[in-house]
Amino acid sequence: MSIQAPRGTRDVLPSEAYKWNYVESLFREICEKFGYKEIRTPIFEHTELFHRGVGETTDIVQKEMYSFKDNGGREITLKPEGTAPVVRSFIENKLYAEPQPMKLFYITPCFRYERPQSGRLRAFHQFGVEAFGTSSPSVDAEVIGIAMAFYRKLGITNLELRINSVGCPECRNKYNEKLKEYLRGKLDKLCKTCQDRFDRNPMRIIDCKTDSCKEEIKDVPYMLDHICEECKTDFEGLKENLTLMEIAYTVDPTIVRGLDYYTKTAFEIVSREIGAQGTVCGGGRYDGLIGCLGGPATPGVGFGMGIERLLLTLQNNQIEIPKPSGLDIFIAAIGERPSKEAVRLLHKLRLEGISADKDHMNRSLKAQFKYADKQQAAYTVVIGDDELEKDIVQLKNMDSGNQEEIKLSNIIQELKNRLK
Ligand SMILES: [Zn+2]
Ligand SMILES: [Zn+2]
């Protein structure tokens, strides 16, 4: 029996890879325009990084990590998300000592052992940006601006940006007391997961998708109504910056982020066609994370965006990604000497930066033309014994069908002129 790809993984075949290349280069281009530089971190890290950087209490760490002991007995995990490795690198390479803010982006595969019925992949891909070193809300808005500019350039327009503030340790501790007070009497009516959350992470209860929980907490107090003066000023600053950038937003006080190191700005970008679970991008501020991973107290803000989800959104919006153009030149040769001439010419053309190919299957001339057509060749160069006698080749424009004789010694220059 032949070997199949592991469950939850997908091949990107040549018929699709051009879409990946397109969105990746566009993402790179936009990030660079915003002054963000690419960072690449390893596929695997010490497991400890994610225990501290993603959080012991999260589903990711508790159930979904690809962790193993390597041959040296080290606890290793394939990265389940992009932020913690970037923060680890920021600290380890002392990027905080360089001029701030340090603005970074990444394109990375991630790995999570998700339940197969959820339709999610176990090996998936993410775009992300992180800006370290400033707590100015103008950078929060800039980070959001990258995502919005990217979607706009791709032609995805039916998106909604939702923003919230999840406060800071100062105001959140006070708020958590109020929240617990509200929830305490309802605890036995909440789902099992929410009962667990009550002590560890009461804010996550607001995020529960269970209908009965939603009903119980419909009058729940929101963090946004209890944020301190500093958090309020920063939230107003974010809104002002977004308005200046002409980016529409909705304030959504139900957006929560589970962990202590998340602070202030939290946002989601929601697409309207995938249905209830239409979040295509999520992010926010995490002023506590760098300190939590052992670095000097440094603020940070960023987002993550699933690439598979992005491609699905493009498909649902019937947005076509430009197909790569075909070959510039196909060389059709018949006979032994012409075939040798084809090898010589082909390699020359390629070195000149012209995309070119020839037959490798011993096809008839007719079949070579058919193949050239399939490769969407713009021109076909025909070399036969008669042509070589006269030191010429036939050049056929595959679009118009026009055929002309060209001197063999001039062919590269002639092709260059025509391909301009
Ligand atoms: Zn606060
Ligand atoms: Zn619940």
Interval 240-249: pLDDT, tens:
999 999 999 9
Q: What is the pLDDT of residue 399?
A: 94
Number of alpha carbons in the 13 Å side-chain half-sphere of residue 416: 10
Nearest bound ligand to the CA of residue 216:
2
Pairing of strands 329-333, 356-358: parallel
Give the distance from CA 245 to its chain's centroid: 23
Closest CA to 302 of 289, 313, 292: 289
CATH homologous superfamily of domain 14-168+227-316? Bira Bifunctional Protein; Domain 2 (3.30.930.10)
Radius of gyration of the chain (CA): 28
Query: Rounded to 5 degrees, what are φ and ψ at 76?
Result: -125, 145
Among the residue ranges 96-110, 118-132, 238-252, 263-277, the one predicted with the least confidence is 263-277
Per-residue pLDDT at 321 exceeds 90: yes
CA 224 to centroid of ligand 1, rounded, Å: 10
- Between CA 39 and CA 41 the distance in angstroms is 7
Higher pLDDT, 197 or 351: 351
Whether 276 has a pLDDT exceeding 60, the answer reads no
Cα torsion 232, 237, 243, 248 to 10°: value is: -50
Looking at residue 79, what is its pLDDT? 97
Of 4-18, 95-109, 203-217, 287-301, where does mean pLDDT reach its minimum?
203-217
Averaged pLDDT for residues 101-110: 98
pLDDT value at position 274?
A: 53
- At 412, is the secondary structure helix, strand, or coil? helix
Tell me what the mean pLDDT of segment 173-188 comes to.
Answer: 91
Centroid of ligand 2 to alpha carbon of 190 (angstroms): 5
Please tell me the distance from the alpha carbon of residue 399 to that of residue 39, in angstroms, as a whole number.
43
| Distance from Cα 172 to the centre of ligand 1, integer Å | 7
Between 90 and 317, whose confidence is greater?
Answer: 90
- Give 277's pLDDT tier (boundaries 50, 70, 90): low
Q: What is the mean pLDDT of residues 392-408?
A: 96
**Residue 299 C-alpha to ligand 1 middle, in angstroms?**
14
Confidence of residue 164 (pLDDT cuts 50, 70, 90): very high
Ligand 1 center to 100 CA (angstroms)? 23
Cα of 258 to ligand 2 centre, how many Å? 14
User: Could you tell me if 114 and 158 are in contact, meaning their C-beta atoms sit under 8 angstroms apart?
Assistant: no
HEC-encoded secondary structure of 62-87: HHHCCEEECCCCCEEEECCCCHHHHH
Choice among 309-313, 341-345, 356-360 with the minimum mean pLDDT: 309-313
Looking at residues 56-75, what average pLDDT do you find?
92
Q: Give this prediction's pTM.
A: 0.93
- Per the annotation, binding residues are 81-83, 112, 126, 130, 257, 261-262
User: In terms of pLDDT, which residue wins out, 146 or 202?
Assistant: 146
Could you tell me which of 108, 102, 128, 107 has the C-alpha nearest to residue 35? 102
- Of the listed ranges 78-87, 192-201, 402-411, the least confidently predicted one is 192-201
How far apart CA 206 and CA 224 sit, in angstroms, is: 13
Q: How far is the CA of 195 from the centre of ligand 2 (A)?
A: 8
Q: Write a three-state SS string for 327-374.
A: CCEEEEECCHHHHHHHHHHHHHHHHCCCCEEECCCCCCHHHHHHHHHH
Give the annotated binding-site residues for L-histidine.
81-83, 112, 126, 130, 257, 261-262
CATH number of 329-419: 3.40.50.800
Mean pLDDT of 225-238: 97
Q: Provide the token pair at 129.
A: 């940006």
Q: Where in the chain is the domain with CATH 3.30.930.10?
A: 14-168+227-316
Does the pLDDT at position 298 exceed 70? yes
Q: Residue 142 C-alpha to ligand 2 middle, in angstroms?
A: 34
Encode pLDDT of 8-51 as tens digits. Answer: 999 999 999 999 999 999 999 999 999 999 999 999 999 999 99
Give the per-residue pLDDT at 115: 82
The mean pLDDT of the chain is 94
pLDDT at residue 95, rounded to an integer: 98
Q: Which residues make up the CATH 3.40.50.800 domain(s) of the chain?
A: 329-419
356 and 331 Cβ atoms separated by less than 8 Å:
yes
Statement: residue 290 has pLDDT above 80: yes
pLDDT at 31: 98
For residue 375, give the nearest of 331, 321, 345, 342 by alpha carbon.
331
384 burial type by CB count under 10 A (0-12 exposed, 13-18 middle, 19+ buried): middle
Is 275 a residue whose pLDDT tops 70?
A: no
Compute, in angstroms, the gap from residue 179 CA to the centroid of ligand 2: 15
Q: How many whole angstroms from 111 Cα to the centroid of ligand 2?
A: 26
Task: Specify the range with the lowest mean pLDDT, choosing from 13-17, 106-110, 183-187.
Answer: 183-187
Residues around ion ligand 1, judged by CB within 5 A, are: 167-168, 170-171, 228, 231
Among all ligands shown, which has an atom nearest to the Cα of 166? Answer: 1
Under the banding of pLDDT at 50, 70 and 90, the label for residue 199 is confident
Structural contact between residues 251 and 93, judged by C-beta atoms closer than 8 angstroms: no
pLDDT at position 107: 98
